[in-house]
Structure 1
């Protein structure tokens, strides 16, 4: 099945790029999508940096990896992070394209292996500020289980403690890899402020909504975009953003 891989929209980059992907065959899409009307010359769906250090996570049900999941919207795919009993964290531009029909497979390890099945979207709320961030709530599965009954929600850490040079990892479902396989990218923080974190870990289309973790495997930011050959960017989970998450977590 042909799907579109959603990359990262950021206010500073002004655009979501989308690429068509059919299993291993990937090509750039034309920029005529409604999400692509303000294309920046700096924006790239493919933010593979010189120190590309990505490896596949085979044991997706262990540790903090269980909190990551594959977002499937039929023609579009992305990543989400479980933060509560029924709730995930992802990007605004992901929810813009879901049309209320998002499916979420926690701990997916490939397109035929969903250890905890799939959950269907119930509702979503978008952060009303500039940050490209949203929460999505899900129905119980066909066994009557809540999302938080089958996996442990992620532990949220303090991003303000992150310093330039600190190690981080970005974990999600990049579209240049086999469909619905989880990959972790290692890197270091390049800069960190109340509104933006930059780092040198590589990502690809499909990493929208990926978690950025510190060395304690605590979620400190949500990946949203990048500039080819320069850096990737995330939203630190602090201040008004963290309040929004807590107020809309169920």
Structure 2
């Protein structure tokens, strides 16, 4: 999803993304293709049987000062195939600091779903730590808008800069991949992919995601229960 103030194109040549196919293995089936009005919108990931996490700007329209409607959530989508059907939202959350100022450091979103689709797909673990992630290998996987709709793509690489609320990396991504999990080899998520070049200048020449802090960790788990 493209937003004012962020780079819409986050591919850092050469493009090193690879397609995920099939998508029915774990953790791929716990990664969610999000549509709005049946058009590609964002990515997300399951964190409990009926809860998913994405970026705040995927749920709240700051320009219109309103929550998005007509959202559908398809775990493990693969092109036109939707192996687990879809769910809809019963409740949406994001940070008030994001809704008021658009601060990408607080760009996170949580969705409570109308069905326990995660009982079939499984879900990711969640992690926070005070120590740096610099040099840690992590994967960003989701649904980029420059590829055919519904195709899942991935790239792994090192975290290059760990900031209090952001993680910076050179993983290739594209608009539509906002909300993708940034996760470790043990399938625990440490961040949420949000943008290319931040309007706040926190990750110059790098892509960026909202870091799972102790506070955000608690918020997500409280909702997911």
* 1:179-190 equivalences in 2 (<5 Å): 179-190=149-160
**Cα distance, 1:209–1:159 mapped onto 2, change above 3 Å:** farther
Distance 2:222 2:133 in 1: 28
**Cα distance, 1:127–1:247 mapped onto 2, change above 3 Å:** farther
Distance 1:52 1:161 in 2: 30
Question: TM-score scaled to structure 2, two decimals?
Answer: 0.85
**Which consecutive unaligned segments of at least 5 residues does structure 1 have?**
1-5, 8-15, 17-35, 141-145
Is 2:73 aligned against 1:107? no
2:169 to 199, 209, 226: 199
Query: Paired residues, what number?
Result: 207
Give 1:25's aligned residue: none
Distance 1:77 1:217 in 2: 24
Task: Flag as ranges the 4+ runs of structure 1 deviating above 4 A.
Answer: 159-162
Q: Give the root-mean-square deviation of aligned CA atoms.
A: 1.9
Distance 1:72 1:106 in 2: 11
Give 2:179's aligned residue: 209
Kept in 1, the 8 Å contact 2:23–2:29? The answer is yes
Distance 1:198 1:51 in 2: 18
CA-to-aligned-CA distance 1:35-89 (integer Å, 9 cap, x gap): x3xx4xxx31001113431000002121211210100111451101111121110
Give 1:3's aligned residue: none
SS in 2 for 1:119: coil
In our comparison, the structure showing a higher alpha carbon Rg is 1
Distance 1:230 1:51 in 2: 14
Kept in 2, the 8 Å contact 1:89–1:134? The answer is yes
Give 1:221's aligned residue: 191
**Which consecutive unaligned segments of at least 5 residues does structure 2 have?**
62-66, 99-105, 199-203
Is 2:97 aligned against 1:133? no
Kept in 1, the 8 Å contact 2:128–2:217? The answer is no
Give 1:163's aligned residue: 133
Distance 2:68 2:15 in 1: 34
